[in-house]
């Protein structure tokens, strides 16, 4: 890849923080090693090392929208701060090409004693704008933030929603080449989030590189072309956002299973039985072994509206598995879930070591035109009604809808009916 196409390049990046168990240890670390070194003695360390990031290397192309996934403590915010230049790496380097604007921790860069107006000028100058440039943009910033007369009140009186409104308005006003957003939109109301996402779409369409951290999986899948997955400060993978979202979800499910059921069996990545590049995960307690369309009216899984689709699914599982269930989920082309259903299953064949189940599922094609995907899950259900993944095969099947009835909107006909009163006049 040409260096002219790169917005951000990260090479062998690591960040270590010094953790002191007592304030006095910080003073000891500053003084005693220098004295010991002056006398030629071996130095002593008065802190513990915490490596927030370890050996990260990746590239982000100009104009890309990249999400970053990871559980709390995985190093996401540390990585963004290093990219923005507010933290220095311990090892490695980061190259950025273009002006960076960032929306990181709520209220970062704001002086709480200053008014909103004064903070606009302060932040704008920190982002490289002159006083005249900020003055020319101020009305647009205030209009987007939409906080009314609070613009002339001290920021310390603002709610979290007002704070993020103003911070976002300033960040996008500088017309950045690279925009970094760290979970900040989560505190805004639904209307403001929609307005922000529309503006972000406009910026990315104009060539702005967006690096986006959010725990909202559906938002990242719908908004980001690629994603980075971090785990305990280490780089796990970079790839399509829906695949990385599933890896992130796998670890969440593993944590939940261990916490809620004292489960010993680890939830880990498995082989997708249809596509080696697609994601599958679960435990060793069972597997989906087959999933295929078996209806006669479909040629290469192509349907028209109101056709009937039929799928055969076969699964194998441990006889000791608690309340086995099978779930089928319909997803759109961006792998966003549209709907689905879960069924309890019974084995048709039993042995001491393995049960086998076979299901035939039918559903009408009540979808708009386009491509749709199907995820199949084998799950167990505990006494509290919670489901745990035994085998989740993501996007194991897909189908296309060529023609459909045009009397509904969106992806799915949800079957709304109408009863209209007749007029009482003649």
> pLDDT grade, residue 106 (50/70/90)?
low
> pLDDT grade, residue 2 (50/70/90)?
low
CATH number at residue 377: 2.70.50.60
- 21 in any annotated domain: no
- 305 in any annotated domain: yes
- Measured between alpha carbons, how far is residue 203 from residues 118, 173, 210, 257 in Å? 26, 11, 9, 40
> pLDDT grade, residue 188 (50/70/90)?
low
Which H or E element spans position 152?
A: none
Residue 185, pLDDT score = 65
Neighbours of 375 (CB within 10 A): 23
CA distance 363 to 346: 21
Please indicate, yes or no, whether residues 324 and 364 belong to a single structural domain of this protein.
yes
Please indicate, yes or no, whether residues 229 and 373 belong to a single structural domain of this protein.
no
- 302 in any annotated domain: yes
What tens digit of pLDDT does each residue of 217-227 get?
A: 888 888 888 99
Domain boundary among 239, 273, 294: 239
Please indicate, yes or no, whether residues 129 and 270 belong to a single structural domain of this protein.
no
- 10 in any annotated domain: no
- 18 in any annotated domain: no
Please indicate, yes or no, whether residues 217 and 287 belong to a single structural domain of this protein.
no
How many domains does the chain fold into?
2
- Measured between alpha carbons, how far is residue 87 from residues 17, 327, 410 in Å? 11, 45, 44
Tokens of 409: 């909107």
DSSP 393: E
Cα within 13 Å of Cα(48), Cβ side: 6
> In the predicted model, is pLDDT for residue 3 greater than 70?
no
What's the angle, vertex CA 222, arms to CA 219 and CA 225, rounded to 5? 115
Please indicate, yes or no, whether residues 99 and 165 belong to a single structural domain of this protein.
yes
Residue 29, pLDDT score = 86
Tokens of 386: 């919670």
Mean pLDDT of 182-204: 77
CA distance 101 to 97: 12
> pLDDT grade, residue 165 (50/70/90)?
confident
Mean pLDDT of 292-296: 84
Residues 6+ apart with CB under 8 A from 397: 274, 291, 292, 293, 301, 311, 373, 374, 376
Phi/psi zone of residue 30: left (φ > 0), alpha (ψ -120 to 50 degrees), beta? alpha
CA distance 240 to 228: 9
DSSP 284: T
Please indicate, yes or no, whether residues 279 and 232 belong to a single structural domain of this protein.
no
CA distance 312 to 358: 7
Residue 80, pLDDT score = 92
- 280 in any annotated domain: yes
What tens digit of pLDDT does each residue of 230-246 get?
A: 999 999 989 999 999 99
Mean per-residue pLDDT over the chain, rounded: 87
What tens digit of pLDDT does each residue of 21-35 get?
A: 888 888 888 888 888
Strand partners, 54: 234
| Range of the structural domain that residue 201 is part of | 57-239
What tens digit of pLDDT does each residue of 60-96 get?
A: 999 999 999 888 889 998 999 999 888 999 999 999 9
> pLDDT grade, residue 120 (50/70/90)?
very high
Handedness of CA 113, 116, 120, 123 (dihedral sign): positive
Instruction: Report DSSP letters for 176-237, one per residue.
Output: -SEEEEESGGGGS-HHHHHHHHHHHHHHHHTT-EEEEE-S-HHHHHHH-SEEEEEETTEEEE
Residue 264, pLDDT score = 61
> pLDDT grade, residue 187 (50/70/90)?
low
- 71 in any annotated domain: yes
Instruction: Report DSSP letters for 64-111, one per residue.
Output: -EEEEE--TTSSHHHHHHHHHTSS--SEEEEEE-S-EEEE-STTTT--
> In the predicted model, is pLDDT for residue 251 greater than 90?
no
Please indicate, yes or no, whether residues 235 and 301 belong to a single structural domain of this protein.
no
Please indicate, yes or no, whether residues 269 and 194 belong to a single structural domain of this protein.
no
CATH number at residue 187: 3.40.50.300
CA distance 398 to 303: 11
> In the predicted model, is pLDDT for residue 332 greater than 60?
yes
Please indicate, yes or no, whether residues 302 and 218 belong to a single structural domain of this protein.
no
CA-nearest of 319, 367, 374, 376 to 343 is: 376
Mean pLDDT of 264-291: 89
Please indicate, yes or no, whether residues 280 and 203 belong to a single structural domain of this protein.
no
Predicted TM-score (pTM) of the model is: 0.80
**Which of 5-9, 279-283, 383-387 shows the lowest per-residue confidence on average (mean pLDDT)?**
383-387
Please indicate, yes or no, whether residues 300 and 181 belong to a single structural domain of this protein.
no
CA distance 187 to 190: 9
- 2 in any annotated domain: no
Are 340 and 329 in contact by the 8 Å Cβ rule? The answer is yes
Tokens of 285: 């307690």
Please indicate, yes or no, whether residues 78 and 138 belong to a single structural domain of this protein.
yes
């Amino acid at each position: 890849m040409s260096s002219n196409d790169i917005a951000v390049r990260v090479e062998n990046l690591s960040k270590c923080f010094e953790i002191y168990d007592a304030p006095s240890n910080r003073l000891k670390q500053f003084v005693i090693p220098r004295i010991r070194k002056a006398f030629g003695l071996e130095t002593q360390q008065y802190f513990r090392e915490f490596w927030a990031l370890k050996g990260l290397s990746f590239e982000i192309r100009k104009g890309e929208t990249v999400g970053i996934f990871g559980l709390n403590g995985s190093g996401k915010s540390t990585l963004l701060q290093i990219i923005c230049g507010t933290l220095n790496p311990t090892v490695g380097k980061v190259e950025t090409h273009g002006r960076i604007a960032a929306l990181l921790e709520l209220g970062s860069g704001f002086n709480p004693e200053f008014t909103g107006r004064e903070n606009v000028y302060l932040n704008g100058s920190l982002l490289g704008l002159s006083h005249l440039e900020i003055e020319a943009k101020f009305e647009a910033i205030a209009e987007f933030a939409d906080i009314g007369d609070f613009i002339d009140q001290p920021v310390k009186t603002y709610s979290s929603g007002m704070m993020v409104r103003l911070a976002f308005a300033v960040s996008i006003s500088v017309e950045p080449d690279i925009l970094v957003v760290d979970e900040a939109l989560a505190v805004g109301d639904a209307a403001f989030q929609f307005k922000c996402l529309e503006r972000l779409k406009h910026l990315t369409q104009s060539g702005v590189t967006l690096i986006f951290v959010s725990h909202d999986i559906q938002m990242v899948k719908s908004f980001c072309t690629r994603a980075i997955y971090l785990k305990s400060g280490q780089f796990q993978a970079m790839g399509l956002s829906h695949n990385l979202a599933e890896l992130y979800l796998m670890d969440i499910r593993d944590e939940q299973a261990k916490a809620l059921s004292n489960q010993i069996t680890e939830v880990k990545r498995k082989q997708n039985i249809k596509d080696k590049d697609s994601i599958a995960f679960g435990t060793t307690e069972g597997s989906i072994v087959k999933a295929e369309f078996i209806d006669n009216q479909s040629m290469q899984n192509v349907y028209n509206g109101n056709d009937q689709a039929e799928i055969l699914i076969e699964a194998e599982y441990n006889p000791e598995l608690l309340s086995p269930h099978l779930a089928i989920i319909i997803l759109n082309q961006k792998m966003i879930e549209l709907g689905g259903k879960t069924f309890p299953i019974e084995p048709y064949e039993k042995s001491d070591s393995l049960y086998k189940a076979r299901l035939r599922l039918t559903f009408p094609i009540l979808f708009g035109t386009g491509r749709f995907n199907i995820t199949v899950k084998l799950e167990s259900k505990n006494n509290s009604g919670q489901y745990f993944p035994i085998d989740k095969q993501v996007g194991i099947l897909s189908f296309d809808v060529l023609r459909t009835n045009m009397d509904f909107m969106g992806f799915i006909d949800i079957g709304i009916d109408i009863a209209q009163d007749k007029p009482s006049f003649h």
